[in-house]
Chain A
């Protein structure tokens, strides 16, 4: 990863020197261990601040909407590159304004999982190793294997490399296809009551802060249905009946548009299992319409098209 980090810096420098971009969206070190922070570099800034490691959890493509008229370079892992494809398909970014610096990604760390390992103790430092992470806490250190602390999304990720990019950094990560829908299938097997109870239990936690929406690159509506007053699609209260509608519609609006980057669950302060809904939709879209969001930059999203033989067993 370190070699990649250097190459990213060199590449970015070259892009600025050759006046190919006005701004670069990448990662810089965070102020705390286990963290990084999105950074927005301009020509005059030092590219040495750029990092690339297992803590680069932010979905950078969400920031593209802030730079619509600028020439932007962006560091894109697999999920981000898929999101960029979707944003291109939905005309939210212009191809000619974009330089995608694709990177291979082995998944990012879920700090909540580390918290469990440290028993909630503050982590004072960390060191990334080839096969895991060394974390320092409570005066000691402990090596944890990455598989134990990866984000749930990353554990079932089938696109570890940027699916399309203008420049690809480093060597492609090997992609072994995994079945990402085991959990969903288990849930589907449950009884109606069990599923309803789980849905309730999760939605009850929601405080309607909309962090999930705000971090989502695909939530770019000028006015979200939930904020609209004319007509008032659904109530704006924190009453659970309205909250449920918010989550059902949010998930529905993600149909064919969610790449499971995990930004929403990372942002959720209440640990609502949002992927319980989005992953289900993702699975249905794949099974019904053979579509995987953002994998190709020219495949029409599922709601923009149809096939006469689309499934309709549910219709009388």
Chain B
């Protein structure tokens, strides 16, 4: 995947057209949305993928170019010339991590990564020490972030009894001065930042200029405006000159605005009566050789800020009290793990399951790839959850409706055969509704009893069922219902699952011939060991391309059903016919149809495939744009049990941040609707990524939910009628800045 990304970026950024070839064995685009990226790389960016083995690279004396020698899939030896060769290299643990592990006494695996087990993927061998990120094993950013949150979840559970005990007393601010109705009285503080600003800009001339501007009642320059004694001066001057708007010309508001807002708040001013001008990072530092023009720019910037400051109004910060109760939807492994962790952290949790009992899809899974007992794990987990006094389990649940926002949701459900409506008040929601196995239409799966899916085969193996007792030839076909036009994503776990089934079957019946027909084997990370083991045990892997999928024929000979599988072997270049006793299909993982209802109910999006779409694919893998709602498990994307456990704890960790606070304070910079100007056209509602806007059906006007509004202003900029404005960045304020041009 990394190679594909670099190739695409290189193509996009190169001034001359690039021809890029990626020499590869298996393409492992198993991450969320990766398969689509791979397809685009092939089709739109014309990156050439060559399944091959490179055995040598030589420099060509005359040109300095590189000659790449390789064997293609048919075994032919070829060579090709390139300007640059980039190697995709693997990851290994840092030596310092290895020595750290020794010092603190945690076990490493044979590759020197930190050892963990499938059901405890962030637990090291030593209780109380957790691991996350690439030290646990090679992985991508989202998995790393999830593991980090997961490790935090376990730590929080251990520390829950002392939560908040080191927090010092809450700060109290003086009563806010009422400034509405007063003419603007602006105080301007210009910072020298040592010599950072003063060494380039002419501060005296800036000061002179500022003094000449209307409404400025006080101007000062400070060596460091951010120093604590200057904070004292600012507060004194606010008092002395009845300043009601403060402008600081110094560095970046991104780093220092909160400090100055705090200062004026301490002086009794609403923190939004503040405006900052960046005359350092975006002026003195970048125009060092042009002090005069830089000073002129600084004057303009200050002029703009003062123009805006005249129009600043106090904003109210919305404070919401929160209900410290969690809601988890879905009683599979993901839901149970989330609920259990929240409970262990000391929060009451409601766990909703639509079926009769807890366990979810895992009830059909018997072992992990390395042979651990999933059924036992599910049993133990179910017991821990049902026994925990803080977890309320509801089964046969129907969710009727849900309303509210971060900290304050109300969800109505029915449970069991009773018709009574149960109303649950909760502060967060974790969506852990899982997914299901695709029921293939292909390969006579619905017609022949000897064509089965992997989940059913796994159950047969675990139960030593008659169907598989005397089989001689078993064919497994991978990527059934995945990576195709209808479902253009990789189901991530099927490769490992077919290898797991093959190995287990081989253990039971060493005589059996197993053929795995695959497109790419995606046994990422340490699962690769089992791929190797499978080949060593004589399991035969045959690659196929989607254009030439295996052909399965079903005949009846003397009343007995006979299955034959025909496939072109790309290595031998000829057709291959196998009489199969069992054909097992690695059926893809597909999203639940009911995801749509939940998506609408909780105002969270689905991706094109129908899985829930997180707030940020890399950095916020369990969050949604809608605050207070989280996702984990198969509802998010196909993944292994270990990955599900990690993500479930991560979701619990994220939710606990909200549940542990009594009050959530929201920014005052939110949108506001002028009802008289609104025509109710719905454009604002459509562009709001946070579903903060609804159209009141009675009045046909837009209504903003301030608790959901993030203040991005997309609605404001979209409104033709000028009916919406944004506090803190109003149309009028921006216009006043433009007026100074």
Direct contact of A and B (CB under 8 A): yes
A residues whose Cβ falls under 8 Å from a Cβ of B: 89-92, 220-225, 228, 230-233, 253, 300-301, 303-305
Asked whether A230 and B732 contact (CB < 8 A) given A223-B721, A304-B687, the answer is yes
Binds A, one of B376-384, B419-427, B650-658, B671-679: B671-679
B-chain residues with CB within 8 Å of residue A305 when the two chains form the complex:
686
Contact of B533 with A by CB under 8 A: no
**B683: A residues at CB distance < 8 A:** 90, 301, 303-304
Q: Most chain-B CB neighbours within 10 Å: which of A222, A232, A301, A304?
A: A222
Contact at A220–B679, with CB atoms within 8 Å? yes
Of B695, B700, B735, which one neighbours A231 at CB under 8 angstroms? B735
Measured between C-beta atoms, what is the minimum distance from A96 to chain B in Å? 13
Q: How far is the CA of A228 from the CA of B731 in the complex (A)?
A: 12
24 intermolecular pairs with C-beta atoms under 8 Å apart:
A89-B682, A90-B681, A91-B680, A91-B681, A91-B682, A91-B695, A92-B679, A92-B680, A92-B681, A220-B679, A221-B679, A222-B676, A222-B677, A222-B678, A222-B679, A222-B721, A222-B723, A223-B677, A223-B722, A225-B720, A225-B722, A232-B735, A233-B722, A253-B720
**When the two chains form the complex, which single residue of A92, A220, A233, A304 contacts B686, counting CB atoms closer than 8 Å?**
A304
Q: Is B117 an interface residue (CB 8 A)?
A: no
3 interchain residue pairs of minimum CB distance: A304-B686, A221-B721, A90-B681
Would B721 and A225 count as touching, CB distance under 8 A? yes
Kindly report which residue of chain A lies nearest to residue B40, judged by CB atoms: A309
Contact partners of B370 in chain A: CB under 8 A: none
Query: Is B507 part of the contact surface with A, judged by Cβ < 8 Å?
Result: no
B64 to chain A, nearest CB (A): 33
* C-alpha gap A253/B683 in the complex (Å): 12
Residue in A221, A223, A253, A303 whose beta carbon sits within 8 Å of that of B687 in the complex: A303
Q: Hey, which bits of chain B sit against chain A, CB under 8 A?
A: 676-683, 686-687, 695, 700, 718, 720-723, 731-732, 735
| CB nearest neighbor in B for A228 | B722
Question: Which residues of the other chain, B, contact A92 by a CB distance below 8 angstroms?
Answer: 679-681
CB of A104, distance to nearest CB on chain B (Å): 30
Taking A92-B679, A220-B679 as known contacts, 9 extra A-B pairs with beta carbons closer than 8 A to each other, sorted by chain A number, are A90-B683, A91-B680, A221-B720, A223-B676, A224-B721, A228-B722, A231-B731, A303-B687, A304-B683
The CA of A241 and the CA of B677, in the complex, are separated in Å by 26
In the complex formed, the residue of B with least CB distance to A305 is B686
- Report the minimal beta-carbon distance from A88 to chain B, rounded to whole angstroms: 11
Q: How far is the CB of B568 from chain A (nearest CB, A)?
A: 35
In the complex, chain B residues whose CB is within 8 Å of the CB of A223: 676-677, 721-722
* In the complex, chain A residues whose CB is within 8 Å of the CB of B700: 91
Nearest B residue to A222 via CB reads B677
Are A300 and B686 within 8 A (Cβ)? Answer: yes
Q: A68: nearest residue on chain B (CB-CB)?
A: B700
Residues on B with beta carbons closer than 8 Å to the beta carbon of A231: 731-732, 735
Chain B residues whose C-beta falls within 8 Å of the C-beta of A91 in the assembled complex: 680-682, 695, 700
Could you tell me the distance in whole angstroms from the C-beta of B609 to the nearest C-beta in chain A?
Answer: 15
Q: Tell me the minimal C-beta distance from B16 to chain A in angstroms.
A: 18
Closest chain B residue to A87, Cβ basis: B681
Chain B contact residues: over half helix, strand or loop, or mixed? loop
A225 to B722, CA, bound (A): 7
Q: CA–CA, A91 to B678, complex, Å?
A: 12
Measured between alpha carbons, how far is A128 from B681 in the docked complex, in Å?
Answer: 40
Specify which chain A residues have a CB less than 8 angstroms from the CB of B677 in the assembled complex: 221-223
- Determine the residue in chain A with the shortest Cβ distance to B697: A91
Assembly CA distance A221 to B682 (angstroms): 12
Which residues of chain B are within 8 angstroms of A230 by Cβ–Cβ distance? 732
> Which residues of the other chain, A, contact B720 by a CB distance below 8 angstroms?
221, 225, 253
How far is A51 from B686 in the complex, measured between Cα atoms in Å? Answer: 40
- Report Cα–Cα, A301/B679, bound state, in Å: 16
Distance in angstroms from B123 CB to nearest chain A CB is 39
Q: Which residues of B contact A224 (CB under 8 A)?
A: 721
Q: Chain B residues near A89: list those with CB within 8 A.
A: 682
- Measured in the bound complex, the distance between the Cα atoms of B676 and A228 in whole Å is 13
Shortest distance in angstroms between A134's beta carbon and chain B's nearest beta carbon? 45
Closest Cβ of chain A: how far from B693's Cβ, in Å?
12
Docked complex Cα distance between A222 and B686 (Å): 20
Q: Which residues of A contact B731 (CB under 8 A)?
A: 231
Could you say which residues of chain B place their CB within 8 Å of the CB of A301? 683
Separation of A57 and B686 alpha carbons in the complex (Å): 34
Among A91, A225, A301, A305, chain B packs the most CB atoms within 10 A around the CB of A91
For the complex formed, measure the closest distance between the CB of B455 and the CB atoms of chain A, giving whole angstroms.
34
CA distance A218 to B679 in the complex (A): 11
A29→B426 CA distance, assembly (Å): 66
In the bound complex, residues from chain A placing their C-beta under 8 Å from that of B735 are: 231-232
Report the separation of the CA atoms of residues A137 and B540 in the bound assembly, to the nearest whole angstrom: 93
Distance (whole angstroms) from the CB of B125 to the closest CB of chain A: 44
In the complex, A260 Cα to B683 Cα: how many Å? 21
CB neighbours (8 Å) of B686 from chain A are 300, 304-305
| Min CB–CB distance A218 → chain B (angstroms) | 10
Residue of chain B at shortest CB distance from A221:
B721
Q: Which B residues are CB-close (under 8 A) to A90?
A: 679, 681-683
Q: Report A208 CB to chain B, min CB distance, Å.
A: 19
Chain A residues whose CB sits within 8 angstroms of the CB of B722 once the complex forms: 221, 223, 225, 228, 233
> Which B residues lie within 8 Å of A300 (CB)?
686
The answer, among B676, B695, B718, B721, for a CB contact under 8 Å with A303, is B718
Residue with the highest number of chain A CB atoms closer than 10 Å, among B687, B700, B722: B722
Q: CB-CB < 8 A to B695: which residues of A?
A: 91
Among residues of A, the one whose C-beta sits closest to the C-beta of B683 is A304
* Chain A residues whose C-beta falls within 8 Å of the C-beta of B678 in the assembled complex: 222
Q: Which residues of A contact B723 (CB under 8 A)?
A: 222
Residue of A nearest to B739 (CB): A231
Residues of chain A lying within 8 A (CB to CB) of residue B680? 91-92
Question: In the complex the two chains form, what is the Cα distance from A92 to B735 in whole Å?
Answer: 30
Q: Which residue of A lies closest to B732 (CB)?
A: A231
- Which residue of A is nearest B730, CB measured? A231
Bound state CA distance, A222 and B676, in angstroms?
A: 7
Question: How distant is B533 from chain A, measured CB to nearest CB, in Å?
Answer: 41
| Complex Cα–Cα for A224 and B682 (A) | 17
Q: Which residue of A lies closest to B701 (CB)?
A: A222
B552 CB to nearest chain A CB (Å): 37
* A86 to chain B: closest residue by CB: B681
A15 CB, min distance to chain B CBs, angstroms = 26
B12 to chain A, nearest CB (A): 12
Q: Output the residue of A224, A304, A305 with the most chain B CB within 10 A.
A: A304
A224 to B722, alpha carbons, bound, how many Å?
A: 8
Of listed B676, B686, B720, B721, residue having the most chain A CB within 10 A: B720
User: Complex: how many Å from CA A269 to CA B683?
Assistant: 32
Residue of B nearest to A220 (CB): B679
Bound-state CA distance A131–B695 (Å) is 49
- Tell whether, in the assembled complex, residue B721 and residue A304 are in contact, meaning their CB atoms are under 8 Å apart: no
A222 vs B731: C-alpha distance in the bound complex, in angstroms?
A: 18
CA distance A224 to B677 in the complex (A): 9
* Complex: A228 Cα to B720 Cα, angstroms: 11
B736, chain A: closest CB distance, angstroms: 8
Give the most central of B686, B695, B718: most A CB within 10 Å: B686
Chain B proximity of A2: nearest CB distance (Å): 39
Minimum CB–CB distance for B310 against chain A, Å: 13
**Taking the nearest CB of chain A, how far is it from the CB of B148, in angstroms?**
28
Chain B nearest Cβ from A269, distance in angstroms: 25
Most buried by B among A221, A225, A230: A221
Query: Cα distance A223–B721 when bound, in Å?
Result: 6
- Least CB distance, A253 to chain B, in whole angstroms: 5
Closest residue of chain A to B734 (Cβ to Cβ) is: A231
CB nearest neighbor in A for B731 = A231
Q: How far is the CB of B448 from chain A (nearest CB, A)?
A: 42
Closest residue of chain B to A254, judged by CB? B720
Distance in angstroms between the alpha carbons of A300 and B682 in the assembled complex: 11
A158 to B115, CA, bound (A): 68
Whole-angstrom distance from the CB of A294 to the nearest CB of chain B? 14
**Bound Cα distance from A89 to B680, whole angstroms:** 11
Q: How far is the CA of A222 from the CA of B723 in the complex (A)?
A: 9
- What residues of A have a CB within 8 angstroms of the CB of B721 in the complex? 221-225
Neighbouring B residues of A222 by C-beta, 8 Å: 676-679, 721, 723
